């Protein structure tokens, strides 16, 4: 059975007319119009998502500023969790689960900026705020294995499932080359780090659809070699590759015309055939895409 995730919160908020600007990104609606966040969660649930992700990705100093984060970060995380939980508890969405998003703390796509001490002090209030509301933890858009260890340390002995999702290098690689995290580490190193941190699933997100299939196969092979029943998942983005020195969500990139719902579904079928059992979408993947996945894959 394939678990269907939701799609990209930030782009969907903007498309729906919710408050949206840089640098706050998806956190602006959480601050100014939280009912619009609930509307997006609901739209993805109606489309067929069985897991919705809290709108806590941009609740970090990088987006909302250090002063606001210190004053309001935990409360905003709690609001993000409560909004998702409120939708999940709607009778029509029985069985809908909430994933608590633990985002990159020093800039997405930038393993060179990662600082373990900063990450720890940033993730701790997010975990405290989200904890009463979530069914599982999703540490996402990880660029380096070092981020896995910090997330695991902050989660401590929390017993809920842990999903770790890595973002991949988008550059085309020669046949036979191992898929790599943005840090340059092989996907197999990411899987090993996630297993050591107690992962029940490893996913790949916020990268081009073209690089995902090889990552799924590598992850499946590594998990099997370690005798693990680890689940593997994918939620790709819909915008063109960025420059290596760019930071995700720094600018609002155009979306690829070929990644409409049928086009994205074509890639998702390949991921499923390669062994992915959790599939959704990242930036630019909307409810219409999720509806296509749910109708065909679930």
Give the helix ranges, DSSP H, for the chain.
9-16, 27-32, 34-47, 61-64, 66-88, 116-130, 145-155, 187-196, 212-225, 261-274, 287-297
Which strand (E) or helix (H) includes residue 52?
strand 51-53
Contacts of 257 (CB under 8 A, 6+ apart): none
The predicted model gives 180-200 an average pLDDT of 97
Report whether pLDDT(175) > 70.
Answer: no
| Cβ contact 280:203 at 8 Å | no
The dihedral through the CA atoms of 225, 158, 2, 148 has a sign that is: negative
Q: For position 267, what pLDDT does the model report?
A: 98
- Residue-by-residue DSSP string for 148-205: HHHHHHHHTT--S-EEEEE-B--S---TTPPPBBTTS-BHHHHHHHHHHTT-SEEEEE
| Cβ contact 55:95 at 8 Å | no
pTM over 0.85: yes
Rounded Cα distance, 204 and 279, in Å: 10
Q: Which structure tokens are listed for 156?
A: 């401590």
Q: For position 225, what pLDDT does the model report?
A: 96
Tens-place pLDDT, residues 227-264: 999 999 999 999 887 655 555 555 677 899 999 999 99
Report the mean per-residue pLDDT for the chain.
95
CA distances from 31 to 22, 83, 166, 236 (A): 14, 12, 27, 27
Give me the phi and psi of 259, to 5 degrees please.
Answer: -105, 50
Report whether pLDDT(173) > 90.
Answer: no
Among residues 120, 25, 18, 15, the alpha carbon closest in space to that of 63 is found at 25
Give me the number of domains the chain comprises.
1
- The DSSP output letter for 91 is G
Tens-place pLDDT, residues 94-153: 999 999 999 999 889 999 999 999 999 999 999 999 999 999 999 999 999 999 999 999
Percent of the chain clearing pLDDT 70 (strictly above):
95
| CATH code for the domain in which residue 58 is found | 3.20.20.330
Q: Which domain holds residue 288?
A: 3-297
Rounded Cα distance, 157 and 142, in Å: 21
Rounded Cα distance, 295 and 289, in Å: 10
């Amino acid at each position: 059975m394939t678990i269907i995730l939701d799609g990209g919160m930030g782009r969907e908020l903007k498309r729906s007319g919710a408050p949206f600007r840089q640098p706050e990104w998806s956190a602006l609606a959480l601050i100014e119009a939280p009912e619009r966040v609930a509307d997006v969660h609901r739209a993805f649930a109606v489309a067929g998502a069985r897991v919705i992700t809290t709108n806590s990705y941009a609740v970090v100093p990088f987006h909302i500023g250090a002063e606001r984060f210190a004053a309001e970060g935990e409360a905003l995380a709690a609001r993000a969790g409560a909004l998702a939980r409120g939708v999940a508890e709607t009778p029509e969405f029985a069985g809908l689960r909430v994933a608590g998003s633990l985002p990159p703390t020093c800039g997405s796509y930038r393993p060179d900026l990662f600082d373990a001490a900063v990450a720890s002090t940033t993730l701790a209030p997010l975990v405290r705020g989200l904890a009463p509301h979530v069914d599982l933890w999703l540490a996402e858009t990880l660029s380096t294995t070092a981020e896995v260890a910090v997330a695991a340390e902050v989660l401590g002995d929390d017993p809920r499932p842990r999903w770790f999702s890595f973002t991949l290098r988008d550059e085309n690689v020669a046949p036979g080359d191992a898929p790599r995290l943005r840090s340059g580490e092989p996907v197999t190193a990411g899987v090993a780090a996630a297993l050591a941190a107690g992962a029940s699933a490893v996913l790949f997100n916020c990268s081009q659809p073209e690089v995902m299939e090889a990552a799924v196969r590598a992850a499946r092979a590594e998990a099997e070699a370690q005798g693990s029943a680890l689940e593997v998942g994918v939620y790709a983005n819909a915008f063109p590759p960025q420059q290596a020195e760019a930071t995700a969500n720094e600018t609002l990139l155009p979306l690829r015309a070929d990644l409409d719902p049928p086009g994205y579904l074509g890639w998702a079928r390949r991921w499923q055939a390669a062994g992915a059992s959790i599939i959704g979408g990242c930036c630019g993947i909307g409810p219409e895409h999720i509806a296509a996945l749910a109708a065909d894959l679930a």
